[in-house]
Amino acid sequence: MSPGLPEEATASGNAPPLSGKAALITGASRGIGRAIASRLGRMGAAVAICARNRDALEKTAADLRNEGIRNLPIVADVTRTQDVQRMTELACAEFGEIEILVNNAGVGVFGPFQERSDTDWDAVLGTNLKAVFLASRAVAPRMIRLGRGHIINISSLASKSAFPGGAIYCASKWGLMGLTACMAEDLRVHGIRVSVVCPGSVATEFSSHAGRDPATLLQPEDVAHAVATLVTQSPHSFISEVDLRPLRKP
């Protein structure tokens, strides 16, 4: 691989598929978000990466630069309207209009619902659902003016399955499925694709996987691959939903 060039460009000798495009990824300092930023960057996109933890974000930005990926780290709390507006404006000022938005930021609080607090509810619904609304609302008018774009929401298979202790998390992800479907209907007429990726258990710091065979877990790069597929679709159709499972069952 040539220094400073995305691997997708060097593999074929042609311009990378996302050359000249700008992407904004939330929750991008680690795990799935970091993998998505790396993958899109290697496909030629300039990536604005957002997270709340400045140190972790700066470390990821440095790692991406070492891969030859142009990026802009933005510290923001995506549950706050002012932060989201500032994040969007900074990204557009640096790279031009955002053509790819990946709403990846997410948190989980688990345990019997009757033992959970108002604070737990607000934290999970704020990050997993409200933040998607805020970021998408900020970017959508710009995409409408362009007449194209991708909004990709990272959900979970928990959006389809109930489990003990998952009430707040499942509520946020089930809600995200409804929000995504309606966003897709609102925006498809403008040439904008809105899709959702629902991974099973992924090997990240998000939750404990004690006792699980690592071979039965998805890797962050698996989710990034799904996102890469969504942003390189044929021009006259769109994939609305991707369910992602490991090849081997637990």
Contacts of residue 202, defined as CB under 8 A and 6 or more positions apart, other chains included, come to 31, 32, 217, 218, 219, 220, 222, 223
Distance CA 185, CA 205 (A): 34
Catalytic residue among 140, 169, 179, 231: 169
Q: Is 126 a catalytic residue?
A: no
Contacts of residue 26, defined as CB under 8 A and 6 or more positions apart, other chains included, come to 33, 50, 51, 78, 102, 103, 104, 105, 131, 135
Cβ atoms of 83 and 77 closer than 8 Å: yes
Q: What is the longest distance spanned by two Cα atoms in the chain?
A: 58
Contacts of residue 5, defined as CB under 8 A and 6 or more positions apart, other chains included, come to 68
Tokens of 230: 């969504």
Distance CA 108, CA 205 (A): 11
Whole-Å CA distances, 212 to 1, 108, 164, 203: 35, 19, 18, 10
Active site residues: 169
